Amino acid sequence: MGLFPFQNEPFLDFSSVIEMDQMVHAVAQVRTQLGQTYDLRIGSQRRAGKTLFDSINPAQPAEVVGHLSAAEPDDVEKAVLAAESAFRHWSQVPAWDRAALLLRAGHLLRQRRRHMLAWIAVEVGKNWSQADGEVAEAIDHFEWNARELLRWSEGQAIQPLASEFNQYRYRPLGVGAVISPFNFPTTLPVGMIVAAIAAGNTVVFKPAEDASVIAHQLVDILDDAGLPPGVVNLITGDGATLGPALVSHPRIRFVAFVGSRAVGTQIHHIGAAMSVGQTHFKRVMTEMGGKNATVVADDADLSWAVSEILSSAFGYQGQKCSATSRVIAMRPIYDELIERVATEAKRLPDQVGLPQDNAPYGPLINQKAVSKVLHYQEIAQMKERVVLSGGRLDQAGYVVSPLIVADVLTSSPLFREEIFGPVLTFTPADTFSQALELANDCEYALTGAVFTRSPKRLASARQDFYVGNLYLNRSSTGAMAGVHPFGGYKGSGTGPKVGSPDYLGFFLEAQTITEKVRY
């Protein structure tokens, strides 16, 4: 192939004084760029919207990160037309040239890595350590897909026939929509966009409003790597307005979405309909969150389990689709496990600070997220056994303290509904089999974790724990491209796993070509 085998990007070492100094410098540089105005990016044009909306720093809500143009449905039409025009050329660019462009873009992100971490800290409130994991994965997506597109471009071997030349190859689909959330503002859109354009498609990219400035930084990297105009078009604004217009457009061939189940379900519904002028059925891929369970057996290493539960439940304040939100523990260790997790979680509010300074604990994304967490806190106080009280902290930002609730029944909303915040429930189980049954008793099936020393129990978990990503004796968060291909079952999503050998196939269609060679 002519490329070194794929290797995951190493993480930065923030225990290094030199690394810390570089990050402080990057944060200072990024802060000089706050408050700029960002236009829509359609084809080769920068287009100002009729209105603007502000993206703010969730740790300091008075601080505006950027003023962004709000797109309208007619901008969606223009973006689709620009992508359609660009597709005619981009789909014909040789695979090696597309791969080289992805490698250049990955190298540019590697060069701008610390500045990207600073943007993530100020716009979505994720500290350097948490942000670095996702930026490393975003770099991986460039490297992984550069290699994958070369593999897929070779087609597949098929049964020969002496009188014919037969070829089985893959073709790009056309124009697609990529709709991404706030919580992983680099790796999630990059994973979808890069796979789409690697396959030869073009894209209209709609990021979450709260992460729109970061989206511009990503498109800058693609532009600087030499991506032709119109291959990726960026529209920002209200998802409730732009999403339906984009998904229902008759010339959109595919939709790749990460976000809430409510929106993902709506996208499936809209995408299944045939619009006037539409000549094909849309492909729809959604990743729609989780209500992830960690099972702790009575023979587990409790110290290790406590550490992993804390990181997966409260890392980035629980705003991860893979975060542990339910713990199912066997009765012999149930009370001790709760006490040890609660003791450590009590210390988190003392570690609150600015994400841009790499504080261990920070804000939720916005006031709506705070209100949602406080709503579940009220439910817990009325109906459940509260072990650690949550609540709004006396901070400038959208900061709430962890909420831990014990003895939660399967009928409780806290057991069933995705909260997307620092809320953790505990439910006891009499046997390991019952613990797995409780873990599976959920409409989501994204990630899960099991802690046990027993090979028999690990084998049982492999067989019976129904989730897309199962982690044994480690936390339910921290997937790496190529190593832990990511995606769930049930209400957690549809489509192939990102970072997998199958993923690029979603963005391609197979074609058989037959030539008669003996008359």
Q: Which residues of 70-97 are buried (b: 16+ CB within 10 A; e: fewer)?
A: bbbeebbebbbbbbbebbeebbeeebee
CA distance 47 to 261: 32
Indicate which residue of 72, 123, 321, 442 is catalytic. 321
Indicate which residue of 287, 308, 384, 418 is catalytic. 287
- Burial-class residue 393 by CB neighbours within 10 Å (0-12, 13-18, 19+): middle
Per-residue tokens: 187: 């790796």
Strand partners, 450: 295, 472
Strand partners, 55: 66
Residue 287 among the catalytic residues: yes
- What SS3 class is residue 496? coil
CA distance 127 to 357: 7
CA distance 418 to 369: 12
Per-residue tokens: 269: 């519904």
CA distance 337 to 330: 10
The helix/strand count (H/E) of the chain reads as: 15, 24
CA distance 169 to 144: 20
Edge to edge, the sheet with strand 51-57 lists: 36-38, 60-70, 51-57
Strands 385-388 and 403-406: what pairing?
antiparallel
Per-residue tokens: 217: 């930084």
CA distance 489 to 78: 35
From residue 293, how far is each of 236, 476, 478, 510 by CA, in Å? 34, 8, 15, 38
For residue 345, which amino acid is it?
Answer: A
CA distance 155 to 169: 4
The residue whose two tokens read 């920068």 is 46
DSSP symbol at 498: B
Rg (CA), the chain: 23
In 3D space, the residue among 19, 194, 172 whose CA is nearest the CA of residue 106 turns out to be 194
> Taking the CA of residue 304 as centre, how many other CA atoms within 13 Å lie in the half-sphere pointing to its CB?
14
CA distance 97 to 94: 5
CA distance 441 to 506: 30
For residue 393, which amino acid is it?
Answer: L
Residues that are catalytic:
287, 321
